[in-house]
Amino acid sequence: MGISKAGSTGQEEQNRTAERDPRTAWWTAARFGMFIHWGLYALPAQGEWIMYAQKTPVREYEKLAQRFNPTEFDAKAWVALAKEAGMRYIVITAKHHDGFAMYGSKADPFNIVDATPFGRDPLKELAEACAEAGIVLCFYYSHVIDWHHPHALHKEHNNTWDYKLEEKRFAEYFEGKAKPQLKELLTEYGRVGLLWFDTAGGLSEEDSKDIVRHVRSLQPDCLINSRVSHFMGMGDFVSKGDNEIGMSGEDTRPWETPMTLNQSWGYTTKDQVWKTADSLIKKLVNVIGKGGNLLLNVGPTPQGTIPELSAERLREVGEWTGRNAEAVYGTDGSPFPVELEWGALTTLPGRVYLHVHNDKWPANGLRLGGIRNRVLRAYCLADQSRTELEFEQAYDEELELHTLEIRLPDEPADQYVSVVALELEGENDFDRTLTQMPGGVFQLEVPHAKISLVREADEEAGIPVIRGAEWTFKLVKPGTYELLLVSFKRHDQAWNGLYPEPILLESAGQVIAVDPREDLADSDSPSCQHPYTAVLSRMGQFTWDQAGVHTLTLLSSRLKDPAPKFTEIWHADAVKLRALRLVRVDG
């Protein structure tokens, strides 16, 4: 049975989806938001899962509330920092998995107003500060996991040290706490931009739809993320796995990457592995270049302040977003279904923005394929004088290939990532086919292949399902290419056994069957981050003697079902097959 994707790129589908649903327009235009994980778990300073990790009894955990007094909390300062960073919306944990409400809830006394000496409602103060600053306030709400409530029931992460699993009556929690608290959040804090639900494992499809109806009945324009349900297709936009940057064309709906500044979500004193401003900006442009949003997390202290190192990183990012705002906000992602060796690309009507990583600044100029429009001007955004750059356009009639070559300044024009702006004549007209860009590397990502079922699984015999990925692509420069399999491997996994059978590759009469090895670490990958590492496996070489359209197929049990019924927790994957990279080896 063949299963294939539509012929258009994921980015085209995503743009059409956004056009069909104007409710998401403000969010897709915003591109960059602040995530805030803050709660009682800030006191032990070991992350937001400490209650579950240490099996802390409810009565013991409640004692944290007696000591929680964030007297240094300043809503205006938080909002000002978000704005300085270039963030357009804030998502804060109104209630995390520990069941503690960070606002004055009448539905449950376990909340910051009634149970702590602080006695104030920080979400009301944030709502006022956001409204004044023009920032959209949004709420995170753990709707399934609640370790404080005796009847909350998740498929695996439950409080079973205080409560018996067989005695749980989920409806009592769902109707008695979750839905009433959502009503409070949606009726007492003004406009709520979106509700960010989390960890819906085990929630029935009917309960999933019920909670969506509940939200819609209270604030019809409030967006809902995909984690409202573990059934596919729910919500208004896709929340990727924690810290996961998707592949080009992977999502056909608007999407976001929730990401941490270090490796933790809630405040912790142990984790001091901080992303640099250079890394954060590269990750931001990688996400928006694929048409997504970046939701970047901070974990405030028990005193109510955002750690200074977090604030410092955000201000550094904000200096860059301020200079390059027109290339970030309201843009569409790249129309080209390929990874760009030198960075990323965003577009507006009549504009193309090339986000060039400074450490990959092309000494001999930048070459790009696929722009059919006549280019009117090219200049660096950081250059206030808008000095025009020399460029040349060409067209290869035989290959139907448009190329653009830009002569860049000797040195990058900005910090970390330098943006080159192109002004185009007429409506944007791009060649969106899978075409090799100028250069020696061509990466074929899984979402741009047709996926088909090759062999059914036989569970009794231990035989896994085998799927095939078939890419049809235009090769511009014929020759011999080394084939590198691109995998993301969990940092805590041994490589042996991650690929249970050889990978089979075929193109132009050439066949390779290889057991992938952990040959190289791709430490320069802008898409990969903790808890994953990028691995390159040498698969062999193929030679294509002629330029033009070719096909290449890959068979593996690690290729995913393109139409699963349930969402998967990305971090549950020991390894994820991302792409096949073609690197020209003969000059």
Q: Strand, coil or helix: what is 13? A: helix
pLDDT-derived band at 216 (thresholds 50, 70, 90) equals very high
Q: What is the pLDDT of residue 72?
A: 98
Tell me the average pLDDT of the chain: 94
Do the domain assignments include residue 417? yes
Asked which of 424, 452, 486 is the last residue of a domain, the reply is 424
Same domain, 570 and 471: yes
Number of structural domains the chain divides into: 3
Strands (E), 120-240: 136-141, 194-197, 223-224, 238-239
Do the domain assignments include residue 21? no
DSSP string, 429-495: -B--S-BPPSSSEEEEEGGGSEEEEEE--BTTTTBPPEEEEEEEEEESS-EEEEEEEEEEEETT--S
- Among residues 233, 295, 227, which one has the least CA distance to residue 261? 295
Asked which of 424, 459, 484 is the last residue of a domain, the reply is 424
Express each pLDDT in 293-304 by its tens digit.
Answer: 999 999 999 999
Express each pLDDT in 306-361 by its tens digit.
Answer: 999 999 999 999 999 999 999 999 999 999 999 899 999 999 999 999 999 999 99
Do the domain assignments include residue 9? no
Q: What is the pLDDT of residue 486?
A: 97
Residues in Cβ contact with 19 at an 8 Å cutoff, skipping those fewer than 6 apart? none
β-strand partners of 369: 403
Do the domain assignments include residue 562? yes
Same domain, 68 and 212: yes
Residue 484: CATH number of its domain: 2.60.120
Residue 380: CATH number of its domain: 2.60.40.1180
Find the range with the poorest average confidence among 15-24, 402-411, 559-568, 571-580: 15-24
Express each pLDDT in 529-562 by its tens digit.
Answer: 889 999 999 999 999 999 999 999 999 999 999 8
pLDDT-derived band at 22 (thresholds 50, 70, 90) equals confident
Q: What percent of the chain has pLDDT over 90?
A: 88
Three-state secondary structure readout of 311-365 = HHHHHHHHHHHHHCHHHCCCCEECCCCCCECCEEEEEECCEEEEEEEHHHCCCCC
Do the domain assignments include residue 363? yes
Same domain, 420 and 447: no
| pTM above threshold 0.85 | yes
Q: What is the pLDDT of residue 58?
A: 98
Q: What is the pLDDT of residue 19?
A: 53
Same domain, 241 and 366: no
Strands (E), 152-303: 194-197, 223-224, 238-239, 255-260, 293-298
Same domain, 283 and 412: no
Same domain, 350 and 307: no
Same domain, 199 and 257: yes
β-strand partners of 255: 238
Same domain, 289 and 393: no
| DSSP conformational letter for 566 | B
Express each pLDDT in 94-131 by its tens digit.
Answer: 999 999 999 999 999 999 999 999 999 999 999 999 99
Express each pLDDT in 357-380 by its tens digit.
Answer: 999 999 889 999 999 999 999 999
What value does the mean pLDDT take over residues 39-46?
Answer: 97
Asked which of 279, 298, 323 is the last residue of a domain, the reply is 323
pLDDT over 70 (residue 408): yes
Whether 24 contacts 236, CB under 8 Å? yes
Q: Give me the domain span that covers residue 218.
A: 31-323
Same domain, 411 and 445: no
Whether 137 contacts 89, CB under 8 Å? yes
Q: What is the pLDDT of residue 20?
A: 55
Q: Whole-angstrom Cα distance, residue 498 to residue 437?
A: 32
Q: What is the pLDDT of residue 587?
A: 65
